[in-house]
Amino acid sequence: MTKPKIILKQLTKRFSDENHRLSREMPALENINLEIMPGEFFVFLGPSGCGKSTLLRIMSKLEKKYEGSIEFDSEEFLSRIGFVFQQFALFPWLSVFQNVELALIARSVPDHLRKEKINTELKLLGLEKSAHLYPHELSGGMKQRVGIARALVTDPDVIFMDEPFSELDSFTASQLRKEILSIWRARQKTIILVTHIIKEAIELADRIAVLTPSPGKLEKIFVNHLPRPRHERSDEFYKLEDQLIEKLKP
């Protein structure tokens, strides 16, 4: 039996409201239990404020204070992850090439190997001619491509994606979703993505976890059996969309 990549057990997160006179605690996530399997494309779907980004940060250990437990499939898990940020998180003083390179510098990859790895990822994402450009010279779509290249270049086992297409226009977002799917198929990575867009979740996910707002609770996990490529106008697509809308209703 395949061992899960990540197991969440009774995960709860509270934020302390220090501005409040009584210094009360606001629950953000409550009692989350789930397993994510290797090679799975797992999507958390929920409205704004349901704690889905917080959950992603807890799983990647960017957020360290929580209740409950997280188990990873190996001790090296955290050194084998990539993260794609909603607002790209590129370093403006570095060029496209240098932004991607920094992830390899951090892992002490030798100089001669770095160039080859970076060029492979830049080519994959259509950035080879933009390697010398700086973030302020790039469009939103290109910035996110750099973010994805930076996440991929270290060959991670798991890639976390925090609403990676929400800052992009619909045409660019649709194009990037197709590319992400093709990368996921070719590289066989585990991808954990959060979104508030139902169609995006259906197009991408193997399984969709629906979160309710304030505090975020796991409402239901949908297994997405729709064959790929998924057509937005198919009856099955509409059916699943209706089921998800029903679950997301306040």
Q: Which residues bind another protein (CB under 8 A)?
A: 57, 60, 62, 78-79, 81-83, 85, 87-95, 97-98, 102-103, 105-107, 132, 134-136, 150, 154
CB nearer to another protein: give 194 or 248. Answer: 194
Min dist CB 230 to another protein, Å, is: 30
| CA–CA dist 148, 35 (Å, integer) | 24
Min dist CB 95 to another protein, Å, is: 6
Min dist CB 152 to another protein, Å, is: 13
CB nearer to another protein: give 16 or 79. Answer: 79
- Report the DSSP beta bridge partners of residue 212: 217
CB nearer to another protein: give 97 or 222. Answer: 97
163: which 2 tokens? Answer: 């609403």
Min dist CB 119 to another protein, Å, is: 14
Contact 224, 208 (CB under 8 A): yes
CB nearer to another protein: give 97 or 184. Answer: 97
Q: What is the DSSP letter of 56?
A: H
Q: Is the dihedral of CA 218, 71, 196, 180 positive or negative?
A: negative
65: which 2 tokens? Answer: 């204070």
Q: 248 Cβ partners below 8 Å, 6+ apart?
A: 45, 46, 47, 198, 210
Residue type, 241: E
Min dist CB 83 to another protein, Å, is: 4
CB nearer to another protein: give 15 or 134. Answer: 134
Min dist CB 78 to another protein, Å, is: 8
Burial 41-69 (b: 16+ CB within 10 A, else e): bbbbbbeeebbbbbbbbbbbeeeeebebe
CB nearer to another protein: give 132 or 231. Answer: 132
Min dist CB 86 to another protein, Å, is: 8
| CA–CA dist 155, 167 (Å, integer) | 25
CB nearer to another protein: give 134 or 237. Answer: 134
Q: What is the DSSP letter of 94?
A: S
**DSSP run (H or E) holding 149:** helix 140-152
Q: 123 Cβ partners below 8 Å, 6+ apart?
A: none
